[in-house]
Structure formats: C-alpha cells, structure tokens
Amino acid sequence: MEGMDDIVREFLVESYENLDQLDRDLVALESEPGSRPLLSSIFRTIHTIKGTSGFLAFARLERLTHVGENLLVELRDGSRSMDHATTDVLLRLVDTVRELLAAIEADGTEGAVDVEDAIADILAVQERAPGAPEAAAPQPEPAAQAEPEGMPEPEQKPEAEAP
C-alpha cells in the first residue's frame, strides 16, 4: 500500500502545480479568449487530472473533470466561444477540483465534497447553443390588472345593417 500512497502524493503535487499554471492560463485567456495554446494547456491539465483520478479510483474527481473536459473540447475546437458564463463555470471547476484534492490530501478520500452543482452548471452552459446569448435574469411579469368588481361591461354598439 505504501507504493499507492506515493503515487497519490505525486498525483497531488503534480495536480496542484498544474492547477497553478491553469489559473495563470485562465487569467491570460481573459485577454485572449480564442487562444488555442492557452485552451490546449487548460485542456491538458484537466485531461491529465481526469486520467489519473480514474486510475486512482477517485470517481467524483474523474466525473467532474470529464464534464469539464467536454466543455474545453468545444472551446479548443472553436465550436464554442468564451463568454462570462463559460468563464464562471471553468473557475468553479478549478475551485471544486482544488476542494477534492484537499480532501484527498487530508484523508486519502474525496470526502464530502459535492460535485453535482458544479457538474450541473457546466452542463447548463454546454446545453446553451454555442454563440447563443447568455440567459438574462428572469424579469417578473407585470401583474394583470383585475377589473374592479361590480363594474359594468363596456357597451357594445350594434353593427349597422348592410342595405
């Protein structure tokens, strides 16, 4: 089991280093939203974490990074453009990966870190058609004005008969 502990420790060290680079890449991506080299670097980091987490049986981490990787493929291949919602979910992806890594570092398990909300947010961005405007906050509908009780109906004028 000692060999596995060494592998997990190395995985953690490399993942933290890669996430630090990913943070720098995300900041740079804000000024160069379509940069293929930056998107490829981000993709490789998430892809590496996904592959190793699968090998080490960290199922939630693997699932989260798999969903994130799918979004990154769309960005890298140019079928989707960076926008505010996409940036937000990528940042959330990184934060959730860090939480999972911290849990693994603490006790060797993924702990109680919830990944479902982050996955749902990523999937919601993916379901939006590429290039479609981001969903605006729903506006309340104006209340229908009810007619006061007891008000007579407006009189209808009879139509003139044709000669």
Domain span at residue 74 reads 2-127
Q: Is residue 106 part of a domain?
A: yes
Q: Is residue 47 part of a domain?
A: yes
The CATH number covering residue 61 comes to 1.20.120.160
Supply angle C-alpha 67, 102, 38, rounded to 5.
45
Q: Is residue 155 part of a domain?
A: no
Q: Is residue 147 part of a domain?
A: no
Q: Is residue 27 part of a domain?
A: yes
How far apart, in Å, are the Cα atoms of 72 and each of 54, 65, 95, 97?
19, 10, 16, 15
DSSP 33: T
> What pLDDT, on the 0 to 100 scale, is given for residue 34?
87
> What pLDDT, on the 0 to 100 scale, is given for residue 140?
42
> What pLDDT, on the 0 to 100 scale, is given for residue 30?
86
3-state secondary structure of 22: helix
Which helix (H) or strand (E) is 59 found in, with range? helix 59-76
- Total domains in the fold of the chain: 1
pTM across the whole model: 0.77
Q: How far apart are CA 144 and CA 124, in angstroms?
A: 32
Show pLDDT as tens, one digit a residue, over the chain (163 residues): 456 699 999 999 999 999 999 999 999 998 898 899 999 999 999 999 999 999 999 999 999 999 999 999 999 999 999 999 999 999 999 999 999 999 999 999 999 999 999 999 999 999 987 666 555 433 444 444 444 445 445 455 555 555 4
